């Protein structure tokens, strides 16, 4: 497993934040990469997962639904072995959506 402060994780987070591939990150000039390293140490790269959770919360509220907790919208990695046992069925998904979005209650 990759440690939170590892260079591999930073490369992945940087690629995600910039919308480029790891190969593009590896091709980045050393001076640019070191600037990003410094930026991450001082300011921190944006947490796109949290940003997307805020956007989803806003959309649900704007659609007239009860805003869910951010913790419920933030994606969390799960073990590959647990994927099938933790995945919601279509019926469970529809029930969850209808609780939060009144317009989905007819699903």
Give the pLDDT of residue 90: 77
Q: How many domains does the chain have?
A: 2
Residue 79 lies in a domain: yes
What was the pLDDT predicted at 21? Answer: 92
Domain shared by 38 and 53, yes or no: no
Residue 26 has pLDDT above 80, yes or no: yes
Asked whether residue 1 is assigned to any structural domain, the reply reads no
Q: Which domain holds residue 83?
A: 48-104
Residue 21 within any structural domain of the chain = yes
Q: Do 26 and 58 lie in a common domain?
A: no
Residue 38 shares a structural domain with residue 76: no
SS (H, E, C) the chain: CCCCCCHHHHHHHHHHHHCCCHHHHHCCCHHHHHHHHHHHHHCCCCCHHHHHHHHHHHHHHHCCCCCCCHHHHCCCCCCHHHHHHHCCCHHHHHHHHHHHCHHHCCC
């Amino acid at each position: 497993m990759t440690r939170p402060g590892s260079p591999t994780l930073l490369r992945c987070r940087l690629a995600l934040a910039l919308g480029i591939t790891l190969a593009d990150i590896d091709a980045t000039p050393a001076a640019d990469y070191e600037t990003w390293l410094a930026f991450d140490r001082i300011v921190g790269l944006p947490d796109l997962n949290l940003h997307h959770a805020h956007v989803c919360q806003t959309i649900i509220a704007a659609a007239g639904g009860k805003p869910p907790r951010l913790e419920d919208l933030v994606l969390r990695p799960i073990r590959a072995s647990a994927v099938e046992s933790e995945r919601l069925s279509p019926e469970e998904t529809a029930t969850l959506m209808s609780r939060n979005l009144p317009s989905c209650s007819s699903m």
